[in-house]
Amino acid sequence: MGTFDTTTPEPRVASLLLRRPLRLGLAADLTNLIYSQGGRILYHDQVVDSDSGHYYTCLKWNASDMKCPDADMTVRLAALFGDGPDTEWSVRYSDQPMRMAVFVSKDPWCLYDILARSHSGEWNVQVPLIISNHPDLKHIADRFGIKFMLFSVNKENKNEIETSQLDLLKNEQIDFVVLARYMQILSGRLVQAFPSRIINIHHAFLPSFPGAKPYHAARERGVKMIGATSHYVTETLDAGPIIEQDVLRVSHRHSVQDLVRFGRDLEKIVLARAIWSHIQRKVIVHNGRTVVFD
């Protein structure tokens, strides 16, 4: 499996994401709690929004030798954070890797990249399911031994198919969904079932060129840079919280085909960075935008 060593036992890592109104001393109380229970802190980053006074933190610790069981730890954390308004938190352990479903249509580049990263052990994630509205990429799913479910959506069966898809996602215990160049708009029902847990890659530097042929529009407009944007899906099209963006410099020398080619690589890399941040539990969504820890 290459240089991603999977034989030495990895430590069991707990990762906590928390957002709530700032309370002085909370960070010290939190780190004290973890130390007192035998945790060793591996990563701690925190941000205070100076406008709203809201506090965001990402904390990871080696949980291999905790004195109390996970359930107890959850109770203690809940007591610490309180249940006041505007408070949200979760903790998750690395021996329960997230389960990801990938939705695709006909474009292979993001799918290949995702499967290479998950399969080689670069990402600590499981990919049990690929859903598509076209049969074209089934051969890739087969190559990697992953279940490939084809749904030929049309107006009549759309509602019924979504019910099947929701069942599938539930049965496979899917934690989050990646739209890897999936060329169909999700219904509100699906979006609501996975709040801030559906990641899309948009083939443009949002909010520019939101339309269907952004590279043609970009070439027409004579832009000197093109970009790609990865964001969480909300019910408003292309307006979800941005996770990652990047750009490349272009010139009059580049044809639309060149822009499309650059765009493919941008999409692939930008989507991969967004997924990595999500898997690493480094993203908090609040008020329609993200805090993405380094």
Residues acting as catalytic residues: 238
Rounded to a whole number of angstroms, the minimum distance from the CB of residue 171 to a second copy is 27
The binder of a second copy chosen from 12, 42, 94, 149 (CB under 8 A) = 42
Rounded to a whole number of angstroms, the minimum distance from the CB of residue 227 to a second copy is 7
| Sequence-distant (≥ 6) Cβ neighbours of residue 109 within 8 angstroms | 181, 264, 265, 267, 268
Task: Mark residues 143-172: x for contact with a second copy by CB under 8 A, - for none.
Answer: xx----------------------------
258 binds a second copy (CB under 8 A): yes
Q: Give the interface segment with a second copy, choosing from 6-14, 163-171, 172-180, 243-251 (CB under 8 A).
A: 243-251
220 binds a second copy (CB under 8 A): yes
Q: Check: CB of residue 223 under 8 Å from CB of residue 248.
A: no
Q: Give the interface segment with a second copy, choosing from 75-83, 92-100, 101-109, 170-178 (CB under 8 A).
A: 101-109
Using CB under 8 A as the binding criterion, the count of chain residues that bind a second copy stands at 75
Query: HEC profile for the chain?
Result: CCCCCCCCCCCCEEEEEEEEECCCCHHHHHHHHHHHCCCEEEEEEEEEECCCCEEEEEEEEECCCCCCCHHHHHHHHHHHHCCCCCCEEEEEECCCCEEEEEEECCCCHHHHHHHHHHHCCCCCEEEEEEEECCCCCHHHHHHCCCEEEECCCCCCCHHHHHHHHHHHHHHCCCCEEEECCCCCCCCHHHHHHCCCCEEEEECCCCCCCCCCCHHHHHHHHCCCEEEEEEEECCCCCCCCCEEEEEEEECCCCCCHHHHHHHHHHHHHHHHHHHHHHHHCCCEEEECCEEEECC
Q: Of 12 and 216, which has the nearer Cβ to a second copy?
A: 216
Q: Which positions from 184 through 213 interact with a second copy, judged by CB under 8 A?
A: 205-209
The binder of a second copy chosen from 164, 225, 235, 237 (CB under 8 A) = 225
224 binds a second copy (CB under 8 A): yes
The binder of a second copy chosen from 244, 259, 271, 279 (CB under 8 A) = 244
Q: Of 200 and 290, which has the nearer Cβ to a second copy?
A: 290
The binder of a second copy chosen from 69, 85, 236, 252 (CB under 8 A) = 252
Residues in the chain: 294
Q: Of 155 and 252, which has the nearer Cβ to a second copy?
A: 252
Rounded to a whole number of angstroms, the minimum distance from the CB of residue 197 to a second copy is 17
Q: Which positions from 51 through 80 interact with a second copy, judged by CB under 8 A?
A: 56
The binder of a second copy chosen from 44, 76, 138, 216 (CB under 8 A) = 44
